[in-house]
Structure 1
Amino acid sequence: MNLIQSLAQRDRVFDFLVPVQSPVDVRHGPILYLEDVSVSFDGFKAIDNLNLTIDDGELRCIIGPNGAGKTTMMDIITGKTRPDSGRVWFGSRHDLLTMNEPEIASLGIGRKFQKPTVFEALSVFENLELAMSADKRVLPTLTARMNGEIRSRIDEVLEMTGLVELRQRLAGILSHGQKQWLEIGMLLMQRPRLLLVDEPVAGMTEQEMERTAALLTGLAGKQSVVVVEHDMGFVRSIARQVTVLHQGSVLAEGSMDQVQNDPRVIEVYLGESEEAA
């Protein structure tokens, strides 16, 4: 194989950024649907007959004590963990249990882990440019020039994340909160339909928490956003619909006021959280 042929081959590192051709169909139901999902690890049932639906454009908060199954649930949605039983659908066309992690990401499901992962030696702008959803074959990447559409998208994401004035700053010297916003911005460059965000305000200052709340609530309606968080003050500031997980299944669901006053939730989670605080 000569050099040109080698360069023309798809760069497998960036396959997860290439959008699939089949759109997500939400005309007949929610954007995300989990039915009777269960998974065990060495005899421990991490997810137990879990049923959950997320509507298109919805902002949903997921809370629950440690070991409730929140991380495992996200692992199942993104293809990292295969359940023992159940169904997981993205729209009405895509059975996520038949797909691997890159295929699921390419559908438009983005996941933000608790610890931010950015390219610290690159600028904020370069991080967003690298994350853009585009043709990532090696040869086009080497020869293509930045076009107006891509610049406009980067400018839009910089504005959304509050990083306009930091566009040329190296990611490695950003504050913890700024790195969190940059990673969210990198996911937004790919125009996800569903964004899974794990404990976004852990380690943040009060001011950073307020800006993060504004960012996530601003995304609702444009993307479906699922936020897993332990900080009840932050959840109260953004919650529209709250799901409480306990022992791998849904314990309660509703508005923050509804779940906050549910005796079962108080017993297994909120009461303990307030005593610890």
Structure 2
Amino acid sequence: MSLDMSIKPEGVDTRHGAILYLDDVTVSFDGFRALNKLTLDISVGELRCIIGPNGAGKTTMMDVITGKTRPTSGSAFFGQTFDLARMTEYEIAHAGIGRKFQRPTVFEQHTVFENLELAMKMDKRVRPTLFARLSSEQEDRIGAILRLIRLHGHEDRPAGLLSHGQKQWLEIGMLLMQEPQLILLDEPVAGMSDAETARTAELLNELRGKHSIMVVEHDMGFVAEIAQQGKVTVLHEGSVLAEGRMDDVQADDRVIEVYLGR
């Protein structure tokens, strides 16, 4: 069975072409501006890489998008429908924004298959969960995700026995099972081997166009692999310093000075 693995942005008004729009967002902590009038947008189906030095505001930006941090001023919209500044973290996740943190958080005592099953978007009340039986369509979806994340054949293996890279892929698969419309990935290849990093680049390139994805990453070689057809945004001191194709960003004197080095 061939499954359409793309996420349809149902319920999210994207007539203007953007699934995420941050407008003049400022976040202040005790007088320090972690974000300083930050403005950017992510198009439907776009894979956007966000780079910048430590303290540039990357994590705070993702916290604003997921509702963990409220902007001091400015606005953040998911499509034209959802004002993120007025929503709880749960409401934002339910609306279709999924976030993966740097450290993988999988259920290590459960198998790979069970992790994906537990993450599936379904009725999680106790009684339906206890008596639930997967439909053939749900089983097919898990099988498709297993192949996509390079864990086909490992479905019966306890997640705790996976390599670091495999745990990262499993967590990405768990995000996909929740059917998010926008995926936020925080340093997805940190701690990976070269081979795992290359396979992760292949995975994200396969997802390009089918999902809207924001990747925050420090590994410039990895960024170059996944940003060939899209934009790279450079943050510095809470604002956009530069934005454009990877070659242009790397050649920007301002970016070289504050981040890449000479």
Q: TM above 0.5, one fold?
A: yes
1:100 paired residue number? 88
Question: How far apart in 2 are the matches of 1:244 and 1:22?
Answer: 30
- Give the paired residue count: 252
1:250 paired residue number? 240
In the TM superposition, what are the counterparts of 1:75-86 in structure 2 within 5 Å? 75-86=63-74
Letter of the structure 2 residue corresponding to residue 43 of structure 1: G
Alignment check: 8 A CA contact 1:33 1:52 kept: yes
Which of 54, 57, 82 is equivalent to 1:66? 54
The SS at the match of 2:18 is coil
Letter of the structure 1 residue corresponding to residue 151 of structure 2: L
In the TM superposition, what are the counterparts of 1:108-123 in structure 2 within 5 Å? 108-123=96-111
1:7 paired residue number? none
Runs (4 or more) in structure 1 with deviation over 3 Å come to none
2:256 paired residue number? 266
Question: How far apart in 2 are the matches of 1:244 and 1:161?
Answer: 28
1:216 paired residue number? 204
Aligned-pair CA distance for 1:22? 6.7
Question: How far apart in 2 are the matches of 1:158 and 1:39?
Answer: 39
Letter of the structure 2 residue corresponding to residue 205 of structure 1: S
CA RMSD across the alignment: 1.1
Per-residue CA deviation, residues 41-63 of structure 1 (Å, 9 max, x unaligned), is: 12211000000100000000000
The SS at the match of 1:145 is coil
Question: How far apart in 1 are the matches of 2:17 and 2:145?
Answer: 29
5+ unaligned residues in a row in structure 2: which ranges? Answer: 1-8
TM-score, normalised to structure 2's length? Answer: 0.94
- Determine whether 1:181 maps to 2:157: no
Question: How far apart in 1 are the matches of 2:133 and 2:126?
Answer: 13
The SS at the match of 1:122 is coil
- Determine whether 1:135 maps to 2:123: yes
The SS at the match of 2:190 is coil
Identity of aligned residues (%): 67
Structure with bigger helix share is 1
The SS at the match of 2:196 is helix
Question: How far apart in 2 are the matches of 1:242 and 1:260?
Answer: 10
In the TM superposition, what are the counterparts of 1:120-199 in structure 2 within 5 Å? 120-199=108-187
Aligned-pair CA distance for 1:29? 3.4
Letter of the structure 2 residue corresponding to residue 72 of structure 1: T
TM-score, normalised to structure 1's length? Answer: 0.89
5+ unaligned residues in a row in structure 1: which ranges? Answer: 1-20, 273-277
- Determine whether 1:25 maps to 2:13: yes
Q: 1:22 to 1:214 in 2, by over 3 A?
A: closer
Aligned-pair CA distance for 1:31? 0.3
1:12 paired residue number? none
Question: How far apart in 2 are the matches of 1:153 and 1:111?
Answer: 20
Aligned-pair CA distance for 1:241? 0.9
Aligned-pair CA distance for 1:243? 0.1
Alignment check: 8 A CA contact 1:29 1:92 kept: no
